[in-house]
Homo-oligomer: A and B are copies of this chain.
Amino acid sequence: MERKIPVAVLGATGAVGQRFVQLLSDHPFFEVTSLAASERSAGRRYADACRWVIPGDPPASLKEMIVSPLEANLPARLVFSALPADVAREVEPRFAKEGYAVCSNASAYRYEADVPLVIPEVNGDHLALIAKQRETRGWRGFIVTNPNCSTTGIVMALKPLHEAFSLSKVFAFTMQGASGAGYPGVPSLDILDNVIPYIPGEEEKIARETRLLLGGVEEGEQRQAKISISAHANRVPVIDGHTIALSLGFERPPTPEQAIEVLRSFRGSPDVHDLPSAPNMPIVVRAEEDRPQPRRDRDTERGMAVSVGRVRECPILDLRLLVVVHNTIRGAAGGSLLNGELLVKRGLVK
């Protein structure tokens, strides 16, 4: 690559938008040329429009940038979208139509049969849907989505197990950090010294997206894997990091040792390894009896690896294990960014 690819961030002032901005700072492939947001923010300096809620400060080079409105005329070829679902539903197709590649963290188009829902190490082949998407919709550009934050952690851990032993049943119990709800998000009076045992739509998303990600693409459409999934989603007083306890049933049940071996060996598609944001090890298996923990493990490999531990037998199904994923990095902005890098690697964005 001789010159960096100009990119924009849509929804740049929100919590996930800020992570995009942070991760895109000094990126080897991409250069941020626009920060776009709703009317309330457009026209203001980024540093003024944005209440920075992640540690540190906005990159010095972007503090002075004037926030653009959400119009499909930005000087960029790829846009990363951190928009809320309802806004994304309106705005993202306008960009795709005008020829932009849209890497969207929003749920708005995740379930369309011709829109790839992708984790590069898991199902990069789903990008094949892009051709059909453009044809059907008559778009010059396209939309690629990444899954919901907790699903990302779950599926990265399940992928190698599913390939090796064929998953049939999944119980997923989540303990999700507050940042998953954005900013201002969860009121402190709801979460201090408390658990909120309900996250709207989350249990359905986990079931649906897991089946899509572990399923295949046939005749230009995504097919859901035949896996039964029961999810219980909870919010806990943790800032970043989702912890998920899993009980798993398989067609060919492995021993815990076999499962650990397969998890340890997982690398994902070979063309993902050398992407700038790819972790060296997508899955880090911990041996301690009390790990992974969100505060201590969320930042593993700059927040891009999932940590797995307590792999043991399940008295009812076959295996129990734990997963920790950094929800706003791997499970949101970082996951979407890795999708963007894969698009470049595969020549879908130039």
Contacts and interface: CB of A to CB of B under 8 A. Distances in A.
Interface in A228-264: 228-230, 232, 234, 236-239, 243, 245, 247
Interface stretch (A86-94, A104-112, A141-149, A177-185): A177-185
Interface residues of A, number: 57
B310 A197 contact: yes
Contacts of A238: 192-195, 237
A239 B290 contact: no
Interface stretch (A5-13, A274-282, A291-299): A291-299
A190 B296 CA distance: 9
Interface stretch (A76-84, A120-128, A311-319): A311-319
A151 to B, nearest CB: 15
A146 B290 CA distance: 27
Nearest to A284: B57
Contact of A232 (B190, B229, B245): B245
Contacts of A195: 175, 236, 238, 243, 293-294
Interface string A304-328: 0000011000111100101000000
A229 B315 CA distance: 6
Contacts of A247: 171, 230, 232
Interface of A: 15, 53, 55-56, 169, 171, 173, 175, 178-179, 183-198, 207, 228-230, 232, 234, 236-239, 243, 245, 247, 289-296, 299-300, 309-310, 314-317, 320, 322
12 contacts: A171-B316, A175-B234, A184-B184, A187-B187, A192-B192, A192-B295, A194-B295, A197-B310, A229-B316, A230-B314, A230-B316, A237-B238
